[in-house]
Every structure is written in structure tokens, then in C-alpha cells.
Amino acid sequence: MRKLTLLAALMLALSIGKAQKVYESFDDFAPLLAQTQNDTTYVINFWATWCAPCVKELPYFEKLHQAMAAQKIKVILVSLDFRKDLETKLKPFLEQRQISASVAALVDSRQALWIDKIDPSWSGAVPATLVYRGTQRQFKEGEFENFEDLQQFVLHFFDPKN
Amino acid sequence: MKTKTGFGIGFFASVLFLLTFIPFGPTNPGLKVGDIAPDFQLKSTSGKMVTLKDYKNVKGYIVVFTCNTCPYAQAYEQRIIDLHNKMAPMGWPVVAIMPNDPSVQPGDGFDKMMERAKEKKYPFEYLLDDGQKVFPAYGAVRTPHVFLLDKDRKVRYIGGVDDNSEDETLITRRYVEEAIAAVEKGAEPNPNLTKTVGCMIKVKK
């Protein structure tokens, strides 16, 4: 019965929008952190609609996504909103903001089991951002001051010396 | 620290703070399991000034950094009330501390804390970290964030309440209760450190 309820919740959740994917289990999400065989730079931001500093910095990620569209970069905004809020909070939020960067929702609430797998230095507080390309990785807990701050954090992945 | 209880206590508390915090130095990254946690003196929504040493006949303290406004703190609010109601009679009271700067997060002002405590009938002390000195000394970074201390204020467990933030029916590990059971048996809690998602503690820029 539990499984059925979960399934129903999942089906509902899957409809949060065309570009959004809902990850019920961290194991399904994990491959997003391990695309090390290509030369794309992944910018993965963990946020939630209820997190004021996260919402404040979302436009910087959106701007990054647009400004660097010609580069090999993928910006993924990973919402940690509660499963019960996907339909009522996340979906309306995304519709209102017209975000073009890809959005995913990670609703695996056994966070104690996966926080370290994102980065061992992460306490679990949001916002937090992971940038990686190949085996090069950089992680930040906390918000970016402005767009330039975020851009700096990401740009050296595009330094020809690397 | 200046409250209606007067200058004397405020001054005493400042001295207490200095004395307890000096060993850690300014760049202290916080407490680790095994460290002795500093005591504090903070005002409670109950109207009292609360210090840990004033608790009588306790085996330890469940210090929880939490607040009114964070959805994760809200998700755990009833569980923290239940935890106190279950564990306090066994000698393990919850001591809740609100670490956010109310000028950054007005919903966490002391008046709002009092409203919340009254509305939800908090059975534990709900303290304001006035001046934001206690949370950095403990190394709390998010709400909710639990520090389980034994009666000597030795840190025995740091982390989350349990292993499922959203769905109580899917909880498989009750970390705090398990840690208390271990300490009571004279054993080390396992795990003694867990991580959960939470809201960053709000400080002025």
C-alpha cells in the first residue's frame, strides 16, 4: 500500500514541468555527479523554494546558463523541496520565474545517507554548489554574493591551462 | 545579554562566556564528539535565564539549534516535542536554541519565538542566542542541528534527529534516541555524527 502511495506521489511529481526530473532515490541521481568522461563543465546548485538566500542567487545561475550557452556547460538547479511541496510550491515557482536552466528535484529524504556523497565537506545547509569537469571538482557551501562571484567560481574551469 | 534580570547577571554571563570560549580561540570550527561543550546563559521564552548547570538530576542534554522559520525545523518541530516528552523523564531534556539573527530573519524574533512556543506548547526551554555567540562556539551551521551532551557536557553525538526528514513512517534510524541508549549503556553512539539538509543559520553580512 505504501508503495502504491509512493508511486502515486511520484506520478504527480513527474508532472512538475517539461524540463524537470524528479529523483526519488539518490542512486538514480548519482550519475549526474559522475559525468567525468566528457569535457562538459557541470554546475550543480542545491536549493529550495523555501530558502531565501537560494532564491536570491537563482538569477545568477540563470544568467550563467544564458551567458555561457555557447560553451560546454550544463547548469542544473537541484531542488531539495519536500515531495509534498513539488506540485504546490515548486511548480508554480518555476512557472512564475520562467527558468530556462534545467531543474531537477531530489526528494530522497534519507539525506544522512547521501550528503557526504555530494561533498564530504558539506554540512547539509543550503544553498550549496558543486562544479566539476572530468576529475576536477570544486564545492561551495553558502551563497554567491553576485553574478561575478559565481562566474569567477566557474570560469577557471574554462582556463586553457586546465 | 542585557535583560530585565539586570546588569549583574549580564555581566556575569559575559565573563562566563569569555572564560568558556577562550580555550577554543577565534577560529574554532566548532565542537567535535568528545569535546566538552561550553555552558551558556540565554533567555528563554519561558521568561527564565537558562544555563545547563541549573538543570537538576539530568543524565544529559539534547541541545537543538532550531528556529521558527526554517521548513526543516518545522518538519522536526513535533518530533522534537515528542523527543523531549519521551526523554526528559529519563533525564535527557531538550534544550532548544534559536541561533538566527532576528534582524535578518524577523520571523525568528524573540516575540515570534514566544508566540510559537505558546502556540505549540513547547515543553522545553526555547532560548534566543542573543548576540549569536553560542552557535559558533558549538559549530552549529544549520537548523535543525542536534548536539547531544552527557551530564559532564561532553559531546556524544552531533547531527540529525533521525534518518527521514519528510516521512516519519519511513524512519529506520532514530539517531538521537539510539545515541542516548548507547550512552546509558556506557557505549559509544554509532553513528556519532550524521548530516541532514537544513537552513543556514542567518547572520548579518
CATH for B7-200? 3.40.30.10
Amino acid at B17: F
pLDDT confidence band for A161 (50 / 70 / 90):
low
Closest CB to B195 among A50, A80, A112? A112
How many angstroms separate the CA atoms of A61 and B145, rounded? 28
Closest CB to A124 among B163, B173, B197? B197
Delimit the domains of chain B by residue range: 7-200
CB atoms within 10 A of CB B147: 25
Domains present along chain A, CATH in parentheses: 15-158 (3.40.30.10)
Cell numbers 562571484 correspond to what residue? Answer: A149
Residue A69's contacts (CB-CB under 8 Å, 6 or more residues apart) are: none
**Nine-digit cell at B42?**
540565554
Contacts 24+ apart (CB under 8 A), A152-157: A153/A129, A154/A41, A154/A43, A154/A64, A154/A68, A154/A73, A157/A41, A157/A131, A157/A133
Q: Counting Cβ atoms within 10 Å, is residue B5 exposed (0-12), middle (13-18) or buried (19+)?
A: middle
Q: Do A107 and B169 touch (CB under 8 A)?
A: no
Instruction: Return the higher-pLDDT residue of A130 and B4.
Output: A130
Q: What is the mean pLDDT of chain A?
A: 89
How many angstroms separate the CA atoms of B201 and B71, rounded? 13
Q: Average the pLDDT over each of A85-99, B38-52, B74-88 and give the range with the smallest value.
A: A85-99
* C-beta of residue A37 within 8 angstroms of C-beta of residue A69: no
Q: How far is A123 from chain B (nearest CA, A)?
A: 6
Q: How far is A109 from chain B (nearest CA, A)?
A: 5
Q: Is the pLDDT confidence value at A157 over 80? A: yes
Task: Give me the pLDDT at residue B7, please.
Answer: 52
Q: Counting Cβ atoms within 10 Å, is residue A37 exposed (0-12), middle (13-18) or buried (19+)?
A: exposed
Q: A17-64, pLDDT tens digit by residue?
A: 545 799 999 999 999 999 999 999 999 999 999 999 999 999 999 999
